[in-house]
Amino acid sequence: MRRAGLVGVPRVRPWSWQAFLLGFVSVAVSAALQGVCVAFGAKLYFATFLPSLFVLCLVAGAPAAIFAALLTVPVVWWAFMPPVFEITPLTAADADSINLFFLLAVLLIGLADLCRKASALVSRGGLKAPGKSAATNSQ
C-alpha cells in the first residue's frame, strides 16, 4: 500500500540557497501573473502571491516563504499600487492591504509548514508507540 504524502513534489532543503532562489523565482512569476491580471482589470494587489507562498512553503520550507513574503511587499508597492512604478507614501487603504497580506501570509505559511512536517512524519512511517506508559490501562 502506498503511503500518503506529497507524491511527485520535489523537496528543497529549507535554508539552502536553492530554496531562496526558488522564493525569488516564485515572486517573479507571481508578479508576471499579477501583471496579466491587472491588464484584464483586476485590482487585487496580492491575489497571485498568496497561493505561490503556500506552494513555496510546501516545497522549500518556511524560511524561503518568509523571504518571498517580505520581497513581495516592495514589488507590489512599486509595480501595482498607484501611481505605478513609483514608491510613494502609502494611503490608508494600501497600508490595510499590506497588513492583511501579512496576516494571511503568516497563516498560510504556518499551515503549509504544518502540512510539510506532517507529510515528512507520514513518509517516515508515522508515530510509533513507545510501549507501555502509565496512562495506558491494561485491564
| Strand locations in 1-138 (E) | none
Range of the domain at 119: 17-123
132 in any annotated domain = no
Alpha carbon distance 53, 81 (integer Å): 20
Q: Is residue 139 part of a domain?
A: no
Q: Is 32 among the domain residues?
A: yes
Domain presence at residue 6: no
DSSP symbol at 82: S
Residue 22 lies in a domain: yes
**Hey, is 45 helix, strand or coil?**
coil
In total, how many domains does the chain have? Answer: 1
Q: Which three cell numbers stand for residue 5?
A: 504524502
In a domain, 76, yes or no: yes
pLDDT in tens, the chain (139 residues): 344 455 556 788 999 999 999 999 999 999 999 999 999 998 889 999 999 999 999 999 999 999 999 999 999 999 999 999 999 999 999 999 999 999 999 999 999 999 998 888 887 887 776 665 555 565 6
